[in-house]
Amino acid sequence: MKEDAKTRKAELMEHLKVSILTLRLQPGTDLDEAHLSDVFGLSRTPLREVFRQLAGEGYLDLRTNRSARVSEMSYTTLRDFFLAAPMVYSAILRLAALNATKTQIEDLKDAQQGFKAALRSGSAEDRALTNNRFHDVTGEMSGNVYLLPSFNRLLIDHARIGMTFYRPKTAEMSGNLSLASQQHDAIIAAIESRDDGAAAQLAEDHWNLSRDQIEMYVMPDALDVPMGIPPLSKPA
């Protein structure tokens, strides 16, 4: 029975993660605890254990005497995302190049093959999830307990934002996705050769490509934030 409950908890966790990353559950959505409890056959205690873990990873917000809620994406969180992402991505890839194990490098190559397959014939959800997996492995490589929580939260919001531009409607967008895949290959090569300087530069290049896509399709016009540099005053 304990193993069955453990399996159901794992299934619920995976369901919620995928639903949040792919926007099946929109930011700010209240979770229907009674429905989830019924579907996954879990009582309130293990259900709340899953919620607490997901809240710790940045997927959910927990509120006293209220239902759990999918983490918000507001003007403030977008602004913070743009400020923090280039710095954190660069640090993660530099550390990944220094610390990656052979097994992790193979995991990264497998993740890249999954991303390429999703680009060829997958859905927008497949592309977002496989890209998220690629970067998740680089976080594992870094092995830094201080950076990882911030990096994981960035990946959640990057995947949610990415659901917009993983539906390429123009030749330019398709070309950018192809370039992103090429950059993934270069990142693998830099990590495999232990070239932390090249890995950090690729992080910046890769971020710039993502930033251009985000600015074009989802970034508010008023959100004028230089890459990684806090503005001197609040935007009007």
Tens of pLDDT along the chain (236 residues) come to 566 878 999 999 999 999 999 999 999 999 999 999 999 999 999 999 999 999 999 999 998 888 899 999 888 888 888 889 999 999 999 999 999 999 999 999 999 999 999 999 988 899 999 999 999 999 999 999 999 999 999 999 999 988 866 665 555 556 678 899 999 999 999 999 999 999 999 999 999 888 876 766 555 444 444 444 444 344 44
Instruction: State the pLDDT at residue 236.
Output: 40
Instruction: State the pLDDT at residue 235.
Output: 44
The burial class, CB within 10 Å (0-12 / 13-18 / 19+), for 106 is exposed
Query: Cα(156)–Cα(118) distance, rounded to whole angstroms?
Result: 19
Residue range(s) of every CATH 1.20.120.530 domain in the chain: 75-217
Residue range(s) of every CATH 1.10.10.10 domain in the chain: 2-70
Q: Global pTM?
A: 0.84
Chain segment 80-121, per-residue pLDDT in tens: 888 899 999 999 999 999 999 999 999 999 999 999 999 999
**Residue pointed to by tokens 């960035």:** 154
- Spell out the alpha helix ranges (H) of the chain: 2-21, 33-40, 44-57, 75-99, 102-121, 124-142, 147-165, 171-192, 196-217
What is the CATH class of 75-217?
mainly alpha
Task: Name the fold adopted by 2-70.
Answer: Arc Repressor Mutant, subunit A (1.10.10)
